[in-house]
Amino acid sequence: MKNFAICYNKTIEHSVEVMSELREILRQNNVSADALDIDELKNGYDFVFVIGGDGTILKAARFYAKFSTPIFGVNLGRLGFLSQSSKEDIKISVEKILKGRFFVEERIMLQSGDKIALNDFVVKGTTTGRTSRFSLKINGKLVCDYLADGIIVTTPTGSTAYGLSAGGPVISPALNAFVIVPICPHTLTARPIVIPDNEVITICSDKDLTNYVASTDGQEFYEFVQEIEIKKSQYTAKLALLDGVEFYSVLRNKLHWGISPAKI
């Protein structure tokens, strides 16, 4: 690796100073790196450090997926589920990366038109405070109709995000699958569905309501009228992970998965 960049989100507290600290650590190891604002990303790098919360990492992942560039997250947010390092451990993390003690994990992504998402696509009606009607098709065949607040189509990476909050399952990122999760469905029989990642999902809007909105990773919003088609993207996100870090330990440490209540 020759060309490094540090992507930071200046709207997040301490982001600029952590970027400067990271740049200095790299300089001490005879490595130079360009500093990039999250809203002014550029191509041409072999490896990119991303400083911020999960939102910053998601935005960088969508951009650099198109160039097959690995990214490494340094958490300054609340949860930091996608990040590998805290600001306190940044020196140790950089030393491991420069010594090659990391691996790159490819994560499947979703695509609709020219939009891609690492976590999820969320479809909702624009009428605030009311449920909307959706028809779900898989590979062109009707599956069911939903009367709900919305529908989440999530990757395994995104299964620990909005999909989990809406009652969906946690899916290992090693699986090639997507999850379809209705949001607050107005029925007791609507449950999340796990499907293979080679199937095409179509969500059709109610003919009486023309304004529906879709979002990618909760960051890019756009309206559609009749239907939206969502499928596996040709791109994959390249997440740099430190040796010894695996999915289940992240579940335990960051989501406190399966931890018994403390004794009184």
Catalytic (active-site) positions = 54
Cα(157)–Cα(160) distance, rounded to whole angstroms? Answer: 7
Q: Which amino acid is at 262?
A: A
CB atoms within 10 A of CB 89: 14
The DSSP element (H or E) to which 255 belongs, if any, is: helix 247-255
> SS3 for 234?
strand
Instruction: For residue 258, give both structure tokens.
Output: 């399966």
Instruction: For residue 123, give both structure tokens.
Output: 């479809």
Closest CA to 117 of 225, 227, 214: 214
Q: Which amino acid is at 190?
A: A
DSSP secondary structure code for residue 158 in this structure: G
* Rounded alpha-carbon distances, angstroms, from residue 222 to 113, 134, 191, 219, 257: 12, 17, 26, 10, 34
Where do we find the tokens 């989990």?
164
